[in-house]
Amino acid sequence: MTLEDVSAVAVAGDEHEACAHARRMMAALGFPLHEPGMADTPARLVKALRELAAGMREDPGRHLEITFPPESSDPGLIAVTNVPFISLCEHHLLPFTGTMTVAYAPAPGAPIVGLSKLARMAQGFAARPQVQERLGEQIVDALHSRLESLGAACHLSAEHFCMTLRGIRAAGAKMATLHLKGVFRTEPVMRENFFHLHSSGA
Ligand SMILES: Nc1nc2c(ncn2[C@@H]2O[C@H](COP(=O)(O)OP(=O)(O)OP(=O)(O)O)[C@@H](O)[C@H]2O)c(=O)[nH]1
Ligand SMILES: [Zn+2]
């Protein structure tokens, strides 16, 4: 099989060039692509990267466009906790995975968003080459600007495989980040309520 041979793994039309490059890269690194089990590995690698970076090809903020009328004139604080996410470290293209707590404070009278959309939006931003700091920032920015909310908050905790499986191999180490906007930054009570919901996990 030559390096340019098309793999038996079905790939999208625009992925053939990526597969040929992946095959060359793996061959240059000495991977035994002649072994039957590895013949299709370059194509699988391309498909896996495409899947993990699917958020590059969408606007994750669009999930916040599906809203409902408010239930109360004093909507308080709405949070979703323990949402799992998978992201791709932009330095190594290795995953970082963990959980997030995402919250926003709707303006009185403003529409509210469906609960699952908070997770869809956040997971969409995660599905891009990222650093954790930017991911948290993009999540609170979307909640603050697209919903015109009084404030937004995001706590992320994740294991970075580039740090736990290779390099320093600090097994069990996690990165924690916190991003606060609007009333979560200016009003200590809102911040305390966010931490309370986050740590109680409910
Ligand atoms: N701040 C931040 N750093 C990250 C994130 N993901 C990976 N990194 C770090 O990015 C850095 C890249 O450093 P380099 O020295 O260029 O890469 P490297 O030689 O592979 O570094 P080592 O991991 O120390 O072996 C590493 O320190 C990673 O731990 C992230 O989300 N945020
Ligand atoms: Zn990394």
Binding site, annotated residues = 89, 92, 162
- Which ligand has the shortest distance to the CA of 134? 1
pLDDT of residue 2: 42
Residue among 86, 91, 97 whose CB has most ligand 1 atoms within 8 A, to mutate: 91
- Give the pLDDT score at 24: 98
CA-nearest residue for atom 29, ligand 1, is 163
CB 40 within 8 A of CB 8: yes
Q: What is the pLDDT of residues 22-75, one digit of tens each?
A: 999 999 999 999 999 999 999 999 999 999 999 999 999 999 999 999 888 888
Tens-place pLDDT, residues 165-186? 999 999 999 999 999 999 999 9
Ligand lying closest to the C-alpha of residue 133 = 1
Tell me the pTM: 0.92
CA–centroid distance, 139 to ligand 1, in Å, is 22
ipTM for the whole complex: 0.95
Residue with CA closest to ligand 1 atom 4: 131
